[in-house]
Structure formats: C-alpha cells, structure tokens
Amino acid sequence: MRRRSPRRLLGVLAAAAVAFTLFGSASTAGAAGRAPAAKSATAAAVTPLSTSTPVVFVHGYTGNASNWVTAKSVFQLNGWSSSKLFAYEYNSYGNNITNAQGLATFVNNVKSQTGASKVAIVNHSMGGLVSQYYLKVLGGSSSVSHLASIAGANHGTTYAGACLIYTTCQQMYPGSSYISQISSGDETPGDTKYATWYSACDGIILPYTSTKLSGATNNNVACQTHIGYLTDTVVLGQIARFVAS
C-alpha cells in the first residue's frame, strides 16, 4: 500500500476540521441557556431536515445585505440553493413601522417568486424590531415558518440613547410605545417556530437578555460580540439547522 505524504495527510485532517465546524452537531455554547419553550423547534435528529423554505435575512441598524455574506454561505453548505436566500434592506434612520410594512411586501414578493407558502426569517439587532412588528402587528406569522433572532433588540437597548435623533432609535429604546406594542401579550404569535441567540458579551444590546422572547427557544451563547455573530459559522450553522427543522 502506498503511504500518504505528511503534507497530504495534514490537508485531509484540515478539511475534516472545517467540515466538522460547519456541519457538526450544534455547539454546546448555546445549550446551557436554552430555556424550556412552549413553541420550541423540533430536534433536527427527529424531523427530516428541509432546505426548500426560502430564507429572508433582515439586517440591523446601519446594516445592509452585505452583512449576510457568511450566513448565506453557511446556509448553502447546509443544503440551500442560492436562489432561496434573500436579503431585505430598509432605511435605518426612518420608521420601523414603515420598515415592517416593506418587509411584508418583500416577503410576499419572495413567496410569489419561489412559489412557497411560507418563508423563514433570520434577523440581527434592530432587524428584530422590524420582524416582530411584521409578525405580530401586521399578521405576518401566517407567512413565516421559522423566525431566528440573532442579538435582536426585541425588548430594546439603552445603547439606542446615543442616536435618539432618529425615529428608529426612539422606537428601539426600552419602554418605547413601539416595543410595548410588540411585546404585550403573546411574543411568539401563530404557528411560527421562534428561536433567539444572545450573549453577555454582546456590548450593544443592553441588557443583553433583551433579545429573549417568551415562548421561543432562547440560546445563551457563551461569549460573542454583537457584530461577531455575523461571521460566527458555529452559531449560523445552528440557525440553519433550526430553520431546516
């Protein structure tokens, strides 16, 4: 039998390590803080995975579609076609009610384009406010199979005090009438499966537990920064598997 050279063997091991990072079972980073939820996602090991559902990514304050380059790559590596991955862009300095209405139109266009009855939504930061308003106030839950909120400002953040000149930041501040509207009563309406990812190392969502939603599967990530999530292939892999469940 021909022996492999040390260089070739190292290459094989490196490739295996990358594959494990992207496709391995969910990291224990979020397991410790996963609270029991009334509407938790079914374990991927029990339900066959489905990657046919279109995914709509919703960026945060001052963000744009380029924020989701890594996420789209991870979703493709987990079986999605690029034609099923979409990024919604909105005005970070306008009004989140208008932004949510725009999301409703965007989702309807995606459904029409793909022929799907529902989409999945993955949001980051202020995108959580836009998404929650769409699902709860505008009745979007009937069009959304899964909602994954990454460091979402779902109950506001005091960090928004630095930009209160803008309506979106006023709406993002804890205790605003906007937040009261999306958090009163059922925070996870409809048959949509909800999950969140939050971390004490966030630094922007203050308090960091603001991301958690009652009735969702809330994943406490050991330590990740607010922007770091956007390139965290472990967390993004968990989200892909959640959406596929």
Annotated catalytic residues are 125, 202, 226
Q: What three-state secondary structure class fits 167?
A: helix
Using omega within 30 degrees of 0 as the cis cutoff, is the peptide bond preceding 207 cis? yes
Spatial separation of the C-alpha atoms in residues 135 and 128, rounded to whole Å = 10
Adjacent-strand bridge partners of 122? 57, 148
Q: Which residues contact 218 (CB under 8 A, 6 or more apart)?
A: 33, 34, 35, 37, 195, 196, 198, 211, 212
Cβ(182)–Cβ(136) under 8 Å?
A: yes
- Token representation of residue 225: 């920064």
Who's near 186: CB < 8 A, 6+ residues apart? Answer: 136, 215
**Three-class DSSP category at 120:** strand
